[in-house]
Structures are given as C-alpha cells and as structure tokens.
C-alpha cells in the first residue's frame, strides 16, 4: 500500500521547484479528480441540504442557493416523516427484519463453509459447486412458490417469513466467501488439533472462528446492508399494515408525494443513515469482503 509500490509511485520531490513543477504537470489530474468528486458528491449533498430546508423554500428556490446566504435551517421535515409519515415505525421494522436476517445466515454459512472446507464427505466439491451456482438464482425465480409455501407454513406476511427468505438467499454468497477464507487457514494447525483428539465442533469453535473474524465481519456487513437496503423481498413478504421497513415506506411516499421533496429527502436520509455509519466505521471489512468475494 505504500506510495512507492503503486503504479503512479515516484520518488518524493526534493526541491521546491521540483515540487512546483510536479503540481503543474499533475494539474490536469487534480482538475479531473475534482470534477469526479463533485459529480459523486453533489447529488447526495443536494438532497441532504434539502432535507433541512423549509418546504416553502424548496418549491421556490434551488438547494444551491443556500450557498448564496439563503440558509433557513429546520428539523421539521424529519419530525414530519418520523411522526405522521410512519418512518419511525418503519425504522424499527427495518431493524427487526435486518438483525436476525444477518445473524442467521452468518451462523449457518459459517457452519456449512467449515464443512465444505475441512470435512471430507462424498460429493463435497460437487455440492459446493451447486451452492456456488445458486448465487445466480434471481429472487424472482422463487417468489410465487414462496408465497404459497409461506402461506401454508403460516409465516406469510410475518417477520419470520422475511428472515427465512433473506437467510436462504444469503447462504450461497456466505458459504462461498467463508469457505474460500477457511481453506486458507494453515492445514498443520487443524491437523495438529485433530491428532490431539479435538473433534470438528471443537476445531470450528476454538480455531477456525477466532481466526476468521475479518471474513465473518465482511459477510455480516454485506448481509446487513443487503437486507437493510432490500426493496423487493419487503414488497412481497413484509407484514402489512404496520410491518413495512423503510425502503417500502419511502417507495409508497414516492407514490403519494412524488414531488414533496422536503419529506422524500428526509425519509431517504433516514434510510441512508445506518449504512453510512456502517460504511465509515467498518470500511476496511467492507472493501476486504468485496475483494475476496469477487477477485478470489
């Protein structure tokens, strides 16, 4: 990661004139990157500013005019969406759906990944390939029979149904990611524990899990964000009325208040708040998981 090893890496400038000439020759890059930064920040910043502006201002002036001094700050929009527009209830529903739908897949995928990595059984690699193949199955492929199946099990329109569906669809990626991490653990360590009489359960708990915290964290973060941000499963399986998570709530706000930007902006930032906190605090695991899941 040091600069010297990277592609653009050059030795540090020695004199002032060298530094100056480097800034000048690199200025096209700085300008281009500044434009990239603006394009990627402005849309989000615009909505963020809008969420704090009074409704009356939003309809008459653009959000960019706050930079010219029109800065009327208000929390009314957040109060409205949290209260009368049901976003507080939806926030609690999002948490109730997401937390179990993250814990279950992490536990089940870790168990299965250990089985695929370190226990011999017939057709193991074939079965693993089938699981990897299931990564491709779109949710749409199972929606209709799942509705009937959940109805016959009495879990249609309940959080349990959502947990089950999210868990099943998370397993292929989780097993793939964790199995690929588990097989990189030193074989000697695991063989030594076997010779000392440790069973698979003990090896899993005492050796594999403690050594795999980064991989488990990556998968947990991915699954958390995936479930938190999901719209389709919630549209079909979430309890209604009263059990909708924030994504479906904002989607129905869009239907009724398609141009009430003060409400839409505040509601959207409520959805984004938790993922942004997760992203900024756990960015390392997030990027690691991304690289492991695709490059490996």
Of residues 19-38, those binding another protein (CB under 8 A): 26, 29-30, 32-33, 36-37
The verdict on 8 binding another protein (CB under 8 A) reads yes
Asked if the peptide bond before residue 241 counts as cis, ω within 30 degrees of 0, the response is: yes
Nearer residue to another protein within complex by CB, 48 or 74 = 48
b (16+ CB within 10 A) / e for 44-80: eeebbbbbbbeeebbeeeebeebeeeeeeeeeebbeb
Nearest to 185 by CA among 220, 211, 217, 219: 211
Nearer residue to another protein within complex by CB, 80 or 142 = 142
Nearest to 57 by CA among 44, 72, 69: 72
As given in the structure block, the two tokens for residue 216 are: 């488990």
For 1, the 3-state DSSP assignment is: coil
The verdict on 254 binding another protein (CB under 8 A) reads yes
- How many residues bind another protein, per CB under 8 A? 105
As given in the structure block, the two tokens for residue 88 are: 């507080």
Task: List the one residue from 78, 91, 228, 285 that touches another protein (CB under 8 A).
Answer: 228
As given in the structure block, the two tokens for residue 232 are: 């389709």
Q: Residues 253, 270: contact at Cβ < 8 Å?
A: no
The verdict on 243 binding another protein (CB under 8 A) reads no
Q: Which of residues 56-85 bind another protein (CB under 8 A)?
A: 58-64
DSSP 8-state assignment for residue 196: T
Q: Which of residues 147-206 bind another protein (CB under 8 A)?
A: 149, 164-165, 167-169, 171-172, 175, 199-201, 204
Task: List the one residue from 20, 41, 151, 189 that touches another protein (CB under 8 A).
Answer: 41
**Nearest distance in Å: CB 189, another protein:** 18
Q: Which of residues 111-150 bind another protein (CB under 8 A)?
A: 111-112, 114-116, 119-122, 127, 129, 131-146, 149
**Nearest distance in Å: CB 94, another protein:** 10
Nearer residue to another protein within complex by CB, 73 or 280 = 280
Q: Is the dihedral of CA 103, 109, 115, 117 positive or negative?
A: negative
**Nearest distance in Å: CB 83, another protein:** 20
């Amino acid at each position: 990661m040091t600069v010297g090893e990277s592609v653009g890496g050059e030795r540090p400038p020695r004199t002032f004139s060298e530094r100056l000439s480097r800034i000048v020759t690199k200025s096209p890059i700085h300008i281009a990157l500044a434009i990239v930064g603006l394009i990627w920040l402005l849309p989000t910043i615009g909505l963020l500013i809008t969420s704090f502006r009074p409704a009356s201002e939003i309809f008459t002036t653009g959000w960019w005019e706050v930079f010219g001094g029109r800065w009327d700050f208000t929390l009314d929009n957040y109060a409205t969406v949290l209260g009368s527009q049901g976003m507080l209830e939806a926030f609690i529903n999002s948490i109730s759906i997401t937390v179990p739908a993250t814990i279950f897949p992490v536990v089940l995928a870790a168990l299965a990944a250990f089985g695929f990595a370190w226990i011999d059984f017939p057709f193991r690699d074939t079965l693993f390939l089938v699981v990897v193949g299931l990564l491709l199955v779109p949710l749409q492929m199972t929606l209709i029979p799942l509705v009937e199946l959940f109805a016959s099990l009495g879990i249609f329109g309940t959080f349990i149904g959502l947990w089950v569906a999210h868990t099943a669809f998370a397993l292929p990626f989780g097993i793939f990611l964790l199995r690929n991490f588990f097989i990189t653990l030193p074989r000697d360590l695991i063989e030594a524990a076997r010779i000392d009489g440790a069973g698979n359960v003990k090896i899993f708990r005492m050796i594999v899990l403690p050594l795999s915290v980064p991989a488990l964290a990556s998968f947990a973060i991915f699954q958390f964000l995936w479930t938190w941000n999901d719209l389709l499963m919630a549209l079909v399986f979430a309890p209604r009325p009263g059990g909708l998570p924030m994504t479906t709530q904002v989607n129905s706000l869009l239907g009724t208040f398609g141009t009430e930007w003060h409400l839409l902006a505040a509601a959207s930032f409520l959805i984004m708040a938790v993922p942004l906190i997760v992203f900024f605090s756990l960015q390392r695991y997030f990027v690691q998981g991304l690289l492991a899941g695709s490059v490996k």
